[in-house]
Amino acid sequence: MPKKHQQKAFLTKPQSSTPHTLSSSKSATQNESTSRNVNDLIRESRRLQIRNESRNPQPSSAASIPPSLRAVLDLPPPPPPVPRFGARPGGPSRLRRIPGPPPPRSWLTDSIHAPSSARTAAEADVRGLRIQVRSSNLPDGAFPPAKSLQNLVLKKIASTWEWHAQNDYDYLEILPTNLKETLLSYLAVYNEAPINPLRLLFLNNEHEERAEVHRLDLSNALGVWTTFKQLERDLVVKQPPVPKPDVENETWETAEDSDGLSSPAFMLGTVHNFINLKHLSLAIPPVNAKAVSWSSLLSLAAELRTLTSLSLAYWPQPTLTPNAASTRAVIKTPRSPPVVYGGSDMYTAHDNDWREAAGILRTLSRSLYCLKWLDLTGCGDWFAALRWRPSSSSSDSSSLDRYGPEWNGGWRGVERLILEVGWKPMSPYIDATAPGQGQPAWNVEDERKMYRYKNERQRYAEIHNTAQSVARYLRALRKEGGGRWIEVDISEELPL
C-alpha cells in the first residue's frame, strides 16, 4: 500500500520575534547578569552573614558563680538564657475551646464552684455596691495599741498564717492563752488561708490548759477554713454509747425475772473541749450565707448553755429548709389539704409571716438562757422576727406568748442587743463633664446607677426603722414584765 505523504514544511515552528520596545531592557539585564558572576554572589552572601552576626549579641563566656557564693557576695542573679530561634513553649500548641457560645455570667457567678472573687463581685453588683460596715466586737477582748510592736507582729502573723502554720507549728502551742485568743481575732480579719487555727492553737494542749479559754472569735471562719460539722466536733466531743456489762445471774429466780433481756446501752455524755467558754463569735461574710445551718446551731447551742456572748452577724433568715427558702413549693397529697414544702419562702417578708423564724429563735432562747450580749449585725432582713406575733384573728390571745424569743424568760438576762444595718450604700461615680459633640445629653448608665443607689438608701432606711421599732417593742415588753432594761445599738441615719 502506498505510504501517507507528510508535509514537513507545515510542521516547522516559526522563529519568535520580540518587539522593538523590549530590546533595550533585555540588553540591560543581560549586561547585569554578565557583570555579576557566581563568585560575586558568594562574596555578597558572606558579607551579609558577617553583618548579621555582628548585630546579634554574643553569649557571655564568663564563668558562672555558684548560688551559695553569689548569695555571700550579694550579686544579682544571672539573666535567663535567650530562647533559641524557633523554639515553641511547652504544652499543647492548640487548645480546643468548648463548642458553642460562652456561658452566661449568672451561671458562673451564682455557681457554688465559682471562685470567691467572682462571687464577691457578683454580690457587690447585685447589692448595689454596698460597703460592709461592722463596729461590734466580742466582749472581753484585750487588743494592743494600734502603733505598738505587738499589733504589727500579730497582723503580720495573721496575714502570712499559712507559712507560720507549716513552719512554726511547735511554737504556736506554747503561746499564752490570752495571746492565742487575741491572735484568733486577728486571724478572723487578715487570714484567708484554709488552715484551721483552732486545732493548731488549742486542741493540741491538755484539758487543763483549754479550761483557761473564755473567748473564741471565729468570725469569717465558716465557709473559709471550717464547716459547721467540723466546728461542732472541735467544740464538743460526743462519746459513743457503751453497753452495760452483763452480770451473771446468781439464782434461777433472777434469771426468770430478767426474761433473757440484755441490759440497755447508756451514754457517757459529751465532753466539752472548752468547758469555760463564755464568748463565741460565729459571724460570717455576707457571701458565705450558704455555709451556715440553723439546725446545726440549735444542736450546738444545746451543748453550750453557759455562753454569755454570741455573735450571729450577717446570718441569713432563720429556717430549717434553706433550699426551699427561695421557692414556693406546695405538695398536693390525696385526701388531705396541700402542704407547703418549706416553713419560709420568698414571700415571707412580704406577707409578714415569720412563724418559722420566730419558732427557731424561741428554741434558741431556751437553750442559751445565760446570754447577756447578742450581735445581729447585718441581719436586717429578719429583724421583724424578733417582735413578731400572729394576728389576733388567726390565733387566740392565750397562744400569743408561744411565738418569738422569750425576752422575759430564757433571754431575760440579755442586756445589750446590736441591731446595726451592717452596710452602707456607696455613692456611684457620675461624670459631670459636658457630653461631647454627637453624644446624647442623657446617659442611661448613669441614670441606672442613681436609681439603684436610691433603692439602696430606701432599703437602709427601712431596716433602720425596723430596728427602732424592735427596740421600742423590747423595752415596752421588759417594762411590762418587770425585767431589766435592754440596750439596743442601732446604726446612724444616712446623711442627706
Question: Which pLDDT score is estimated for 151?
Answer: 93
Question: Which pLDDT score is estimated for 457?
Answer: 92
Question: Which pLDDT score is estimated for 261?
Answer: 47
Residues 17, 22, 25, 29: is their CA dihedral positive or negative? negative
Enumerate residues 6+ apart whose C-beta is below 8 A from 391.
Answer: none
Tell me the C-alpha to C-alpha distance, in Å, between residue 395 and each of 37, 398, 400: 115, 8, 7
pTM equals: 0.68
What burial class does residue 297 get, using C-beta atoms within 10 Å of its C-beta: 0-12 exposed, 13-18 middle, 19+ buried?
A: buried
What burial class does residue 414 get, using C-beta atoms within 10 Å of its C-beta: 0-12 exposed, 13-18 middle, 19+ buried?
A: buried
Task: Count other C-beta atoms under 10 Å from residue 353's C-beta.
Answer: 17
- Polymer length in residues for the chain: 496
Tell me the C-alpha to C-alpha distance, in Å, between residue 68 and each of 80, 340, 411: 18, 72, 67
Dist. CA 418–CA 373, nearest whole Å: 8
3-state secondary structure the chain: CCCCCCCHHHCCCCCCCCCCCCHHHHHHHHHHHHHCCHHHHHHHHHHHHHHHHHHCCCCCCCCCCCHHHHHHHCCCCCCCCCCCCCCCCCCCCCCCCCCCCCCCHHHHHCCCCCCHHHHHHHHHHHCCCEEECCCCCCCCCCCCCCCCHHHHHHHHHHHCHHHHHHHCHHHHCCCCHHHHHHHHHHHHHHCCCCCCHHHHHHHCCCHHHHCCCCEEECCCCECCCECHHHHHHHHEEECCCEECCCCCCCCHHHHHHHCCCCCCEECCCEEECCCCCCEEECCCCHHHHHHCCHHHHHHHHCCCCCCCEEECCCCCCCCCCHHHCCCCCEECCCCCCCEECCCCCCCHHHHCCCHHHHHHHHHHHHHCCCCCEEECCCCHHHHHHHCCCCCCCCCCHHHHHHCCCCCCCCCCCCCEEEECCCEEECCCCCCCCCCCCCCCCCCHHHHHHHHHHHHHHHHHHHHHHHHHHHHHHHHHHHHHHCCCCCEEEECCCCCC
Domain range list for the chain:
130-240+269-316+354-390+402-431+445-490
In this structure, the strands spanning 373-375 and 416-419 are parallel
Beta bridge partners of 280: 216, 310
Dist. CA 182–CA 214, nearest whole Å: 12
Question: Which pLDDT score is estimated for 181?
Answer: 93
Beta bridge partners of 216: 280
What are the mean pLDDT values of the chain's consecutive 10-residue runs (496 residues total)?
56 54 51 69 82 60 74 79 62 63 70 59 55 84 90 93 90 91 93 89 84 92 91 84 53 49 54 91 90 93 93 92 69 66 68 87 94 94 90 53 83 94 86 64 79 91 95 93 92 88
Cβ 194 vs Cβ 224: under 8 Å: yes
Structure confidence by residue, pLDDT tens digits, 357-374: 999 999 999 999 999 999
Dist. CA 472–CA 383, nearest whole Å: 13
